Amino acid sequence: MKITINSVAEKAGVSVATVSRVLNQKEGYSEDTRLKVLKIMKEMGYQPNALAQGLAGKRTQTIGVLIPKLSSMVASTILNGLEDAAHKKEHSVIICNTDNDGKRTTKYLQVLRQRQIEGLIIVSQQLSEEEVIFLKKMKIPILLISTANENFKHIKVNDYAASYDATKYLIEKGHEKILFLSGTKSDPIAGLPRVFGYQQALKDHGFKVKPELIIYGDFDYESGKVNMKRALEKKLDFTSVFAASDEMAVGALNIAYNHGLKIPAELSIISYDGTKLSEMSTPPLTVLNQPFYKMGFDGLNMLIDNINGQKVVSRDIPYSIIERESIKRLS
Amino acid sequence: MKITINSVAEKAGVSVATVSRVLNQKEGYSEDTRLKVLKIMKEMGYQPNALAQGLAGKRTQTIGVLIPKLSSMVASTILNGLEDAAHKKEHSVIICNTDNDGKRTTKYLQVLRQRQIEGLIIVSQQLSEEEVIFLKKMKIPILLISTANENFKHIKVNDYAASYDATKYLIEKGHEKILFLSGTKSDPIAGLPRVFGYQQALKDHGFKVKPELIIYGDFDYESGKVNMKRALEKKLDFTSVFAASDEMAVGALNIAYNHGLKIPAELSIISYDGTKLSEMSTPPLTVLNQPFYKMGFDGLNMLIDNINGQKVVSRDIPYSIIERESIKRLS
DNA sequence: TTGTATGCGTTATCAA
DNA sequence: TTGATAACGCATACAA
């Protein structure tokens, strides 16, 4: 026997309307009936059916999250913030690991639509033309985290500025020969801007940008290793490396170590991201820290504000440099 | 104007029943009407309302996932497998980060119940008495991943056996003085069994278990550092360390490095978990690998089988030792 | 092969 | 302060 609002009403000797009222704390009943209904609800262990509530016009309090590469520290930290915020706001989160696959993304978008999500969060993923069109047609609030698109609002760090400052930090430590282990060259959000920031900082301090010191990878550990190895084999001239992700930094570290290079004595490294990985590295990495948890947390709150009719604006969230032990000051 | 099964039916000049039939690929319509309805649905961009479908008796295809500490490599890898499997089976996943908090867990359980989930997966979390009672009352299939409880089925590796084999591996490499960096002592699932496995392997090979070589931590990086440091300061006598988690292993590695110990030349390390962290370490860690992704993937499939009426049995999933570069054979 | 009508559990409107 | 009752969008048993 299912226990519904009907059975509660019956047992309490009132109408379903009344039960619904006390359930939703609307007005229109005496203290007496309130207590009575509440008591019966508790006795019977009543739980409202969210599907029915949603159908009947109540908010579904569901938000969808599109995320490529679920199993990375960056993604899971953002997700953590996202989920914490959602929980505090009494919302549920349906996660969708798109795997950076267009087909899969499309499929998910449909599913989420069917499930009547009230808002959508897209994490670190670039949007194609068709996706943008589809998203717009969904007519629900959308917020991007750690990525950007002219059609939607976002929360992210300013990659260009962050990269500029990381480079500047290195320069102020006396480094001018900086090997830049870049991420994906074709990535207009997390790829190129970091390269530009690096280049501009060099120029602004009167140093020449040497193209051979910029090597493109894909943000992953392996590419950090491969490119570091290449740089070493080519005997490129550099005293420090700036890696565009923690994973790449750790990969570079591994190669450097195997070449007998002491960090930071013989080579300095600054990383970009600030996941737990950069802390757990040996030595711990000085890093341009992105507040991933906060991005997730704040991002979800921005989305909910938007759902509630408030206007939200794109936000560049502050980054910071966390000084650890991978950089040596050159005199 | 909302686009529902009604508007589709109207535009197609058929009844909602017919539309519903072709939508669900039941029988009872001519090829002609099928094509016509399908065409209209496409034209209008119709998407069925999952809430209504669920209310009307159809499966909700929703499964809940309880997980403590969302932002760890272990959790996110399991989640990844979970999500991939769910997607293939056309199910959606609602994730709940319990933070190992009883109150929060209870709250989530209620929410999930209200959302009419068809099944529940609990990852790496111990269950209290009350939780077990509540869970049983939910009367839905439940599956535990990487944890266990007599009341429910699970999928996990056999911690005792795995730890035994990892220790044995070390012994076969000539190590008998093995420092065991344990996880939480009070953890009956992932804590103690690993200690027992370690002890038994030693005994079975004719070596004495030295209590001072077992130090309890909490699986985290910091505890790996702290306990390794303690062991070194006490000048305990050991040629290798067996850490009960990747994070602890990496923490120990950090301390060892700072003490000038070469790995594996002067000290061997074997880790337990096999997350990406163990690969990215310098040197890469030989590790007792748990197939987290597969646990998630297979676990979700087991749950769905169970939902579909099949009986499932608890499963000990095979582990393996991945040999990398952190162990030196003692002659 | 197709349509009508009822129910799913809840909210909301309108009376009483 | 309450209670009928009509939606909500869909599936389905029953008719036709």
pTM of the entire predicted model: 0.95
Question: Based on the number of CB atoms within 10 Å of its own CB, is B196 exposed (0-12), middle (13-18) or buried (19 or more)?
Answer: middle
- B145: pLDDT strictly greater than 90: yes
**pLDDT, position A300:** 98
Span B178-183, average pLDDT? 96
Band (pLDDT 50/70/90 cuts) for residue B253 is very high
Within 7 Å: CB of B285 and strand D?
Answer: no
Band (pLDDT 50/70/90 cuts) for residue B20 is very high
pLDDT in tens, B224-248: 999 999 999 999 999 999 999 999 9
The amino acid sitting at B261 is: L
CA–CA gap between residue B328 and residue B331 (Å, rounded):
9
Contact A94 B93 (CB under 8 A): yes
Strands B240-243 and B268-273: parallel
A258: which chain B residues are within 8 Å (Cβ-Cβ)?
Answer: 282
Which residue from A58, A66, A50 is spatially nearest to A120, judged by alpha carbons? A66
- Give chain A's end-to-end CA distance (angstroms, integer): 80
Span A126-136, average pLDDT? 93
The amino acid sitting at A139 is: K
- Residues 31-70 on chain A lying near strand C, CB distance under 7 A: 46-49, 52-53, 55-58
Residue with tokens 């991939």: B84
pLDDT in tens, A221-279: 999 999 999 999 999 999 999 999 999 999 999 999 999 999 999 999 999 999 999 99
Are the beta carbons of B120 and B141 closer than 8 angstroms? yes
- B267: pLDDT strictly greater than 90: yes
B97: which chain A residues are within 8 Å (Cβ-Cβ)?
Answer: 80, 83-84, 87
Band (pLDDT 50/70/90 cuts) for residue A197 is very high
- B221: pLDDT strictly greater than 90: yes
Asked if B221 has any chain A CB less than 8 Å from its own CB, the reply is: yes
pLDDT in tens, A44-72: 999 999 999 999 999 999 999 999 999 89
**pLDDT, position A296:** 98
Asked if A159 has any chain B CB less than 8 Å from its own CB, the reply is: no
Chain mean pLDDT for chain B: 96
Contacts of A219 by beta carbon, 8 Å cutoff, 6+ apart = A183, A184, A190, A244, A245, A247, A248
Q: Running DSSP on this structure, what letter comes out for residue A152?
A: B
The DSSP-derived string for B159-179 is HHHHHHHHHHHHHHTT---EE
CA–CA gap between residue A104 and residue A296 (Å, rounded):
23
Band (pLDDT 50/70/90 cuts) for residue B88 is very high
Band (pLDDT 50/70/90 cuts) for residue A28 is confident
B75: which chain A residues are within 8 Å (Cβ-Cβ)?
Answer: 76
**pLDDT, position A162:** 98
**pLDDT, position B259:** 94
Band (pLDDT 50/70/90 cuts) for residue B1 is confident
Band (pLDDT 50/70/90 cuts) for residue B201 is very high
**pLDDT, position A331:** 79
Contacts of B152 by beta carbon, 8 Å cutoff, 6+ apart = B122, B135, B142, B143, B144
Span B131-153, average pLDDT? 96
Distance between the alpha carbon (CA) of B83 and the C1' atom of C6, Å = 37
**pLDDT, position B28:** 85
Asked if B84 has any chain A CB less than 8 Å from its own CB, the reply is: yes
Band (pLDDT 50/70/90 cuts) for residue B3 is very high
Of chain A, the percentage scoring pLDDT greater than 70 comes to: 100
Of chain B, the percentage scoring pLDDT greater than 90 comes to: 98
- B112: pLDDT strictly greater than 90: yes
Task: Give strand pairing partners of A94.
Answer: A64, B94
Asked if B179 has any chain A CB less than 8 Å from its own CB, the reply is: no
